[in-house]
Amino acid sequence: MSDLDHVFSAQGPLAETIPGYRARLQQQEMAHAIAEAIKHNRQLVAEAGTGTGKTFAYLVPALLSGGKVIISTGTKTLQDQLFNRDLPAVRDALKVPVTVAMLKGRANYVCHFHLQRAMSEGKFYSREDAAYVHKIQAFAENSATGDKSELTSVPESATVWPAVTSTRDNCVGQECAFYKECFVMEARKRALAADVVVVNHHLFFADVMLRDEGVAELLPSANTVIFDEAHQLPEVAGMFFGEGYSTSQLMELARDAHNEYLTTVKDCTALPEATAALEKAVRDFRLIFAYEGARLPVQKVLALRNFDGAYATMQEKLAELANVLESQAARDPAVENCWQRALALQVLLQRWIAATDTNLVRWVEVFSQSVQLHATPLSVAEGFSKQLNAQPRAWIFTSATLAVKSDFSHYLAQMGLQEATTGHWDSPFNYGQQGLFYAPQGMPEPNSAGYAAAVAAMALPVIKASRGRAFVLCTSLRAMRELHALLKDAFSSEGLEYPLLMQGDTARSELLERFRQLGNAVLVGSQSFWEGVDVRGEALSAVIIDKLPFAPPDDPVLSARIDKMNAEGKNAFMEYQLPYAVITLKQGAGRLIRDERDRGVLMICDPRLITKPYGRRIWQSLPPMRRTRNVEDVVEFFTSSPIDPA
């Protein structure tokens, strides 16, 4: 028996020290594949079904490898779980003397400089913020890390946080009086010295492109880079391999420059005039866009009435503010920082409006208070492959959803992984007994006017059979709100007392906790509940999906990618749109069965699953549950396995 086989065996150190550990052949095989990739500096793309235990499958060979390892996760929640729970457990079981550090983006750490400013100015959005800032001050004086996630008495959504943390723009760097005490710098020092560093995807790619968050210093010495939840990488990489800016950056610059006038350069009367003029220009620019939520291609944006004039005015007022700041920059590092930000933003505004790179898709996203102007690459493959080939090291990409029927070609092409080997390990769960897949009969076409009402009508008997305990996952916020209203009316008219929750009612973590505690709730959600959500046990016994999650065809980036692929003679639907939908659908379906004891029904309402030729390819990519088109089988499934009343 090899060392790895012993570690993962029923008599090995994991079984001895980790409560509830079970030996799984799939986990053991995956660990061997990862160990080989690390040993030979290879690229490995590994899909492992739910329950495989992929975290331990990569942690064990990574910790035993003896080299420096960077692990990048999809979310800060998973990052915290890895650092605080999984890594220490595996390290202790293996008895290996590795040092571990966690590195987050600078906005996650209290900034002494901005905290002191906030305290001295005393200007807050609310009384709550004024109370919170004293808690943050006490925390900063006693914390070893300054990581705001450790201060649970101040909500992560509190509006005080931007005032007491730094951004890449407003950090004054080595000129700061608190530089030696800086929590961000201390986190980077710990990361540089550690054997294993846990980051997240946004931080990794922001740093690869911007060289601002500390990862760039880590990469040269890293022997292995592991991406968990790697299905998120194409979208995250696209955000950072592109260019763009938000009008909120201009407003923040104006606010910070005005604060410098109030505190540092009170005699510069031109400064408040310049900041006010920029703020007005930015607000006027926002007003030329009709409504929030719009995602507009550059052709439509440039054709908007008053766009040219409003954009030019914004550039002009930014330039005027930059000139005023330049005249005062020598007086204080914070003023100089504002000047440098103004210069950088001038470049971004000019580059966006004048962009000629045919690999970049320019588009605009409209929010209630701001506008984001994007230039997104049609492909991240070329940019990412440069990182892959910079120097020899192992690259591991793992997720439960990377392939379509065990075919990885879509993902490999997206990420430029020409040299990668692939591996697929099925879930150890007995889906044939644990789950039932229900595709209702008689559903109208998904684009028909009465589709949401039909979904609600078909879902109701399933919700009754499962006695609540359901997620209703929607492909859009509009559908989510419509279905929530329809179910609310149906519950009322039929006297059903299942608690009905909706995404947005409160923070996602609080909503999930309520769902778990209630035990018989129905939660209607959209994108943020399709992945990264783990509800084990009977509290979640049905997952109902309204439509196949094809990306909206009017999305500017998707539209440009489709046009490009079709122009190259490729089939954009089969090679891009369908794989995207399958991978997203697998994420949603994966919410249902989370351990060996879970049982439940997966309901997909979209008739295209049955009526379209590609439907077979979709359902064959889902977990191998028994399939039915009759609601009676759903009722029988639940009655044959009674659910204890909540």
pLDDT 10s digits, 249-278: 999 999 999 989 988 899 999 999 999 999
65: number of CA atoms within 13 Å, CB side? Answer: 29
H helix intervals, 354-397: 381-388
Taking the whole predicted model, whether its pTM rises above 0.95 is answered as: no
CATH 1.20.1440 domain residues, the chain: 241-377
pLDDT at 644: 46
Q: For tokens 């044939």, what's the residue?
A: 432
Question: Quick check: 212 pLDDT over 60?
Answer: no
End-to-end CA distance of the chain: 47
Overall fold of domain 241-377? de novo design (two linked rop proteins) (1.20.1440)
The region of weakest confidence among 20-34, 115-129, 325-339, 527-541 is: 115-129
3 state SS for 531-553: CCCCCCCCCCCEEEECCCCCCCC
The region of weakest confidence among 113-127, 240-254, 394-408, 438-452 is: 113-127
Q: Are 465 and 537 in contact (CB under 8 A)?
A: no
Residue 407's DSSP bridge partners are 404
pLDDT at 645: 41
The answer to whether the Cα torsion of 459, 461, 462, 463 is positive or negative is positive
What does DSSP assign to residue 644?
P
pLDDT at 214: 54
Q: How many CB atoms lie within 10 A of CB 133?
A: 20
pLDDT at 306: 92
pLDDT tens sequence across 455-513: 999 999 999 999 999 999 999 989 999 999 999 999 999 999 999 999 988 878 888 99
Length of the chain: 646
* Own/partner long-range contacts of 116-123 (Cβ < 8 Å, ≥24 apart): 116/178, 117/163, 117/259, 117/263, 118/160, 118/163, 118/164, 120/263, 121/259, 121/262, 121/263
Max mean pLDDT among 33-47, 145-159, 545-559, 566-580 falls in: 33-47
Amino acid, single-letter form, for residue 253: L
More confident residue, 133 or 225: 225
Mean pLDDT of the chain: 90
Max mean pLDDT among 101-105, 115-119, 161-165, 630-634 falls in: 630-634
Question: Quick check: 101 pLDDT over 70?
Answer: yes
User: From the DSSP assignment, how many helices (H) and strands (E) are in the chain?
Assistant: 30, 18
Q: Are 215 and 385 in contact (CB under 8 A)?
A: no
H helix intervals, 376-476: 381-388, 409-415, 431-434, 451-466
Question: Quick check: 642 pLDDT over 70?
Answer: no
Q: What average pLDDT score do residues 94-99 get?
A: 94
Asked if the 3-105+185-240+379-425 domain carries CATH number 3.40.50.12780, the reply is: no
Task: Provide the pLDDT confidence category of residue 301 given band limits of 50, 70 and 90.
Answer: very high
More confident residue, 204 or 220: 204
**Six token digits for residue 407:** 């075919």
pLDDT at 210: 60
Q: For tokens 């028909």, what's the residue?
A: 448
Q: What average pLDDT score do residues 109-115 get?
A: 93
Task: Provide the pLDDT confidence category of residue 80 given band limits of 50, 70 and 90.
Answer: confident
CATH number of 431-639: 3.40.50.300
Query: In the sheet where 421-425 sits, what is the strand order?
Result: 100-102, 196-200, 69-73, 224-228, 394-399, 43-48, 421-425
CATH 3.40.50.300 domain residues, the chain: 3-105+185-240+379-425, 431-639
**Six token digits for residue 307:** 């766009």
